[in-house]
C-alpha cells in the first residue's frame, strides 16, 4: 500500500499555487568624491557630513532595494561603512547591508542592498584588459539572490548579477580607447561566466558621449546575441549637448563649480543597461516599462542648473540634496518579480525533500514520506561529491558540508534508476 500511495503522490500534478509579486527599486549614483578630499574638493566644498545628510534624504525619498555607487573613497572600506551608517541606515531604516570592500584606486565602486529582500552570494572583479594590462578602474561584479523562504525550500530562487563600472572620463581618442578596452573585458568575462538561470544588469558612470562609441557597441552589440545588454529606454544617439535627450541627461547638476563639474544638464553619462532576460522577464526579474528615470530631471533644464527656476519633479528637499550631493543625478529603474510557489508537478515533487537551504555547514534533511533511494550532492560539472542513503523510516538526516566551497550545487533524489527530485542547493 505504501508504494501505491507514493506513486500516486509523485504522479499527480496539482493546479493550485501562490503567486508572489514584488517590485524591486534599483538605483545607481556617482557620489562625486565621497569622503575623498582633494585640493579642489575640500572638506568645505565637499563636506562629508553634509553629503551624508543629502544622501539620507535621497534614499528616504526613493527607498531603493539595491544601490550601486561610483566615486567612493578608496580607504580600505571606512568610507563605504560610513555612508551605510550615517546615510542609508537612518530615520528608522536598518535593513541595508554592503558588499565587501574592493578597490584598486583612490575612488571605487560599492553595492548596498536591502537584506530583507536579498542575499549577496558572490563578488568578483575585472581589472585587466584582454591583453592583461591593468584597466584604469576595475569593474566590480556582484551576484545577489532574492530571499523568499517558500521558494528557497523548494530549491529555486532568482539570481541577479550586477556589473558596476566607472569608465574613463574624457573625449579624446585615448579616453575612448580606454573605455572600449574596459567594455571588451566585461563582455569577455560575461561570456565566460554567463549562466542561463541568472538575470543581468550593468550600471555606472559610462562617460560616453554617443551610442556610436565602440565601448557602448561592445555592450549592446556583442556577437553572441543572448548575452547582449539592452538600453531599456532605447535612446541611442549623440547624447552630449543635445537638447533632444534633455529628459535623460544626468550631468551636470550645475552650471559652474570648482569641485563640481559645470555646464548644466547636457550629458547622459550615467546609465543602467539590462540583459535581454530582464527586458523580456524570462528569469524572474522583469523591467517595468516607463520606470527608468534620472531622478530630479524634469526635462526643462537643458544647459541649466538643476534647481534654476521651477523644478517640481521631486520634493524641494530632495531637489536641494540632488543639487548639493553630486554633479551627477542618480538613475533608477524598477523590476517586477512574479513567481508561483507551487503550481506544477515539478514543484510538487520537489517539496517532498525538506532541507535547510541556503546552508552554511550542516545540511539537515529528510523526505516527507517514507521511501528508499539515495540523496546525492553534485557540483556544477555533474561530479558527485556526497552520496547518502535515504532511510525508509523517514527520520531526519544530517550531512556535514563544511568542506564544500561557497557556491551553487544540486541535490538529487534517486529511487531505483530514476531521478525523482532535482533542487538547487546554495552553500554560503
294-320: average pLDDT: 97
**Residues 100, 112 contacting (CB under 8 angstroms):** no
pLDDT, residue 334, reads 97
In SS3 terms, 207-226 reads as CCCECCCHHHHHHHCCCCHH
Map residue 190 onto helix, strand or coil. helix
211-225: average pLDDT: 97
CATH among 3.30.70.20, 1.10.1060.10, 2.60.40.3080, 3.40.50.410 for 2-16+343-427: 2.60.40.3080
Of 216, 328, 333, 330, the residue nearest 274 (C-alpha): 333
pLDDT, residue 395, reads 76
**Residues 318, 57 contacting (CB under 8 angstroms):** yes
The pLDDT > 90 percentage for the chain reads: 68
pLDDT, residue 342, reads 42
**411 vs 394: CA distance, rounded Å:** 18
- Whether 125 has a pLDDT exceeding 80, the answer reads yes
329 to 29, 123, 141, 314, 332: CA distances (angstroms)? 7, 26, 22, 12, 10
Map residue 24 onto helix, strand or coil. strand
pLDDT, residue 173, reads 97
216-245: average pLDDT: 97
DSSP assigned state of 84: I
pLDDT, residue 417, reads 66
The mean pLDDT of the chain is 89
Of 22, 20, 28, 21, the residue nearest 292 (C-alpha): 28
The CATH number assigned to the domain with range 19-339 reads: 3.60.10.10
**99 vs 119: CA distance, rounded Å:** 10
* Domain residue ranges in the chain: 2-16+343-427, 19-339
- Whether 5 has a pLDDT exceeding 60, the answer reads no
Higher pLDDT, 27 or 405: 27
Higher pLDDT, 406 or 278: 278
Please say whether the dihedral angle defined by the alpha carbons of residues 181, 182, 184 and 189, taken in this order, is positive or negative: positive
pLDDT band for position 394 (50/70/90)?
low
pLDDT, residue 390, reads 84
- Whether 307 has a pLDDT exceeding 80, the answer reads yes
42-59: average pLDDT: 96
Region of poorest pLDDT, from 26-40, 81-95, 146-160: 146-160
pLDDT, residue 398, reads 87
Read off φ and ψ for residue 268, nearest 5 degrees. -100, 75
The pLDDT > 70 percentage for the chain reads: 89
Map residue 164 onto helix, strand or coil. strand
- Whether 8 has a pLDDT exceeding 70, the answer reads no
Q: Which stretches of 326-415 are DSSP H helices? A: 345-350
pLDDT, residue 344, reads 40
pLDDT, residue 15, reads 38
**Residues 58, 318 contacting (CB under 8 angstroms):** yes
pLDDT, residue 156, reads 54
pLDDT band for position 61 (50/70/90)?
very high
Angle between helices 316-325 and 48-62 (to 10 degrees): 130
What is the signed CA dihedral for 236, 237, 243, 249, rounded to 10 degrees?
A: 50
pLDDT single digits (tens) 161-201: 999 999 999 999 999 999 999 999 999 999 999 998 899 99
Counted residue by residue, the chain has a size of: 428
Of 419, 401, 417, the residue nearest 409 (C-alpha): 401
pLDDT, residue 349, reads 52
Amino acid at each position: 500500500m505504501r508504494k501505491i500511495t507514493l506513486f500516486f503522490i509523485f504522479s499527480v500534478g496539482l493546479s493550485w499555487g501562490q503567486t508572489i509579486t514584488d517590485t524591486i527599486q534599483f538605483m545607481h549614483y556617482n557620489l562625486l568624491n565621497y569622503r575623498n578630499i582633494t585640493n579642489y574638493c575640500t572638506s568645505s566644498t565637499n563636506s562629508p557630513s553634509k553629503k551624508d545628510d543629502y544622501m539620507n534624504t535621497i534614499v528616504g525619498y526613493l527607498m531603493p532595494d539595491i544601490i550601486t555607487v561610483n566615486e567612493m573613497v578608496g580607504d580600505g572600506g571606512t568610507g563605504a561603512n560610513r555612508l551605510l551608517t550615517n546615510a542609508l541606515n537612518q530615520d528608522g531604516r536598518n535593513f541595508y547591508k554592503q558588499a565587501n570592500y574592493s578597490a584598486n584606486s583612490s575612488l571605487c565602486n560599492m553595492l548596498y542592498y536591502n537584506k530583507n529582500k536579498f542575499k549577496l552570494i558572490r563578488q568578483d572583479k575585472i581589472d585587466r584588459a584582454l591583453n592583461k594590462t591593468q584597466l584604469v578602474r576595475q569593474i566590480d561584479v556582484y551576484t545577489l539572490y532574492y530571499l523568499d523562504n517558500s521558494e528557497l525550500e523548494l530549491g529555486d530562487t532568482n539570481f541577479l548579477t550586477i556589473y558596476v563600472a566607472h569608465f574613463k572620463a574624457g573625449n579624446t581618442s585615448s579616453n575612448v580607447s580606454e573605455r572600449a578596452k574596459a567594455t571588451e573585458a566585461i563582455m569577455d568575462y560575461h561570456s565566460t561566466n554567463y549562466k542561463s538561470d541568472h538575470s543581468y544588469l550593468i550600471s555606472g558612470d559610462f562617460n560616453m558621449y554617443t551610442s556610436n562609441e565602440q565601448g557602448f557597441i561592445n555592450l549592446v552589440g556583442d556577437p553572441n546575441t543572448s548575452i547582449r545588454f539592452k538600453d531599456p529606454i532605447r535612446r541611442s544617439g549623440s547624447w552630449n549637448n543635445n537638447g533632444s535627450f534633455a529628459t535623460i541627461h544626468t550631468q551636470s547638476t550645475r552650471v559652474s563649480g570648482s569641485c563640481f563639474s559645470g555646464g548644466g544638464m547636457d550629458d547622459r553619462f550615467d546609465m543602467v543597461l539590462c540583459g535581454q532576460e530582464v527586458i523580456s522577464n524570462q528569469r524572474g526579474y522583469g523591467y517595468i516599462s516607463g520606470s527608468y528615470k534620472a531622478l530630479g530631471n524634469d526635462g526643462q533644464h537643458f544647459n541649466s542648473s538643476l534647481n534654476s527656476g521651477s523644478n517640481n519633479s521631486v520634493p524641494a528637499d530632495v531637489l536641494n540634496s540632488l543639487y548639493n550631493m553630486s554633479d551627477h543625478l542618480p538613475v533608477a529603474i524598477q523590476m517586477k518579480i512574479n513567481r508561483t510557489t507551487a503550481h506544477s508537478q515539478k514543484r510538487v515533487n520537489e517539496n517532498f525533500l525538506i532541507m535547510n537551504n541556503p546552508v552554511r555547514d550542516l545540511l539537515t534533511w529528510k523526505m516527507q514520506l517514507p521511501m528508499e533511494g539515495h540523496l546525492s550532492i553534485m557540483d556544477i560539472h555533474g561530479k558527485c561529491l556526497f552520496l547518502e542513503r535515504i532511510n525508509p523510516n523517514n527520520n531526519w538526516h544530517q550531512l556535514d558540508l563544511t568542506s564544500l566551497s561557497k557556491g551553487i550545487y544540486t541535490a538529487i533524489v534517486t529511487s531505483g534508476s530514476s531521478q525523482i527530485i532535482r533542487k538547487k542547493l546554495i552553500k554560503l
